[in-house]
Structure 1
Amino acid sequence: MYAAQLSGAQRIRRAIAAAAIGVAAVAGTAAIAAPARAEVQYPASIGQCLAAKPTLREGVRNQGPCVAAVQAFLGYSYGNGHIDVDGKFGPQTKAAVRNFQRAVGIYDDGVIGPATWRSLQNACTAQGNCDYQYPFPLPF
């Protein structure tokens, strides 16, 4: 049947169907093209971060994996109680770092620099958990 031979109701139904197909096609393309939501990824252990020893401090972006490793380590020691392991260096993490720094007798500025990395390495070596993998249970 040609468009000239269709009744008004049939033309409207075809137009609605065509629009629905177009919307579905666009929605399907958008769903396929939408980037997958990135999962939070953590390093295998704090030992991996000890190799690079990046300076970590509050408010700096793109330091998440090593921040998460330090959060996981400090969350179980040095009077820090529960620390959210989220890879974000916020006030809670800074306070935990300062607690750790005071406990090991180094300057407590809340920044993880060379001296703090040395102390973290000594502490995790002494505890035997430098290879601890978050979020798995602690090895002891």
Structure 2
Amino acid sequence: MYTAQLFRGERIRRAIAAAAIGVAAVAGTAAISVPAHAEVQYPASIGQCLAAKPTLQEGVRNQGPCVAAVQAFLSYSYGNGHVDVDGKFGPQTKAAVRNFQRAVGIYDDGVVGPATWRSLQNACTSRGNCDYQYPFPLPY
């Protein structure tokens, strides 16, 4: 009888442990899918991005604010056709960058590197809108 009670007690402990692990797994999933520090992210301006001049290209992550600044400039200030300002460097943004590069006479690889940043700086300075920031948050 003592071993049956021990076995029954062990089953209860295992059931409680399994339930606790299940709750922790669900809570962990919720914590991962909705970060506690999630904040609304807005596009930067070309002027702000000129300080670091990050290389922007398709497939590189975590560059949303500067990608959005380039998208907004190319779409609204430079007259390069419509480019969605979403902070994601996709085919539409690459095509707009290539159009800009061809228009200013630099190598048109669709990558925003040092030469493209110089040309963006010249273009926004001549138009007086290097500090323009797209007024809506990025759709993350």
TM-score, normalised relative to structure 1: 0.68
- Mapped partners of 2:79, 2:122: distance in 1: 17
Q: Percent identity?
A: 87
The answer to whether residue 86 in structure 2 is matched with residue 86 in structure 1 is yes
Tell me, what secondary structure is at the counterpart of 2:65?
Answer: helix
- Mapped partners of 2:105, 2:78: distance in 1: 12
RMSD: 2.3
Amino acid at match of 1:116: T
Aligned partner of 1:74 in structure 2 is: 74
Does the 8 Å CA contact 1:78/1:103 hold for their aligned counterparts?
no
- Mapped partners of 2:101, 2:81: distance in 1: 15
- The Cα shift of 1:77 comes to 4.6
Residues 15-43 of structure 1, C-alpha deviation per residue, up to 9 Å, x if partnerless? xxxxxxxxxxx9xxx7xx76465433222
**Greater relative CO (CA pairs within 8 A, separation 6+):** 2
Residues 79-121 of structure 1, C-alpha deviation per residue, up to 9 Å, x if partnerless? 5211100000000000000000000000000000000000000
Aligned partner of 1:40 in structure 2 is: 41
Amino acid at match of 1:94: K
Aligned partner of 2:64 in structure 1 is: 64
- Mapped partners of 2:60, 2:50: distance in 1: 18
Aligned residue pairs: how many?
Answer: 107
Q: Give the gaps of 5 or more residues in structure 2.
A: 1-22
- The Cα shift of 1:133 comes to 1.5
- The Cα shift of 1:78 comes to 4.6
Aligned partner of 2:120 in structure 1 is: 120
The equivalences for 1:14-25 within 5 A come to none
Residues 22-74 of structure 1, C-alpha deviation per residue, up to 9 Å, x if partnerless? xxxx9xxx7xx76465433222x110000000000011111111000000000
Aligned partner of 1:23 in structure 2 is: none
Which is greater in Rg? 1
TM-score, normalised relative to structure 2: 0.68
Aligned partner of 1:102 in structure 2 is: 102
Aligned partner of 2:111 in structure 1 is: 111
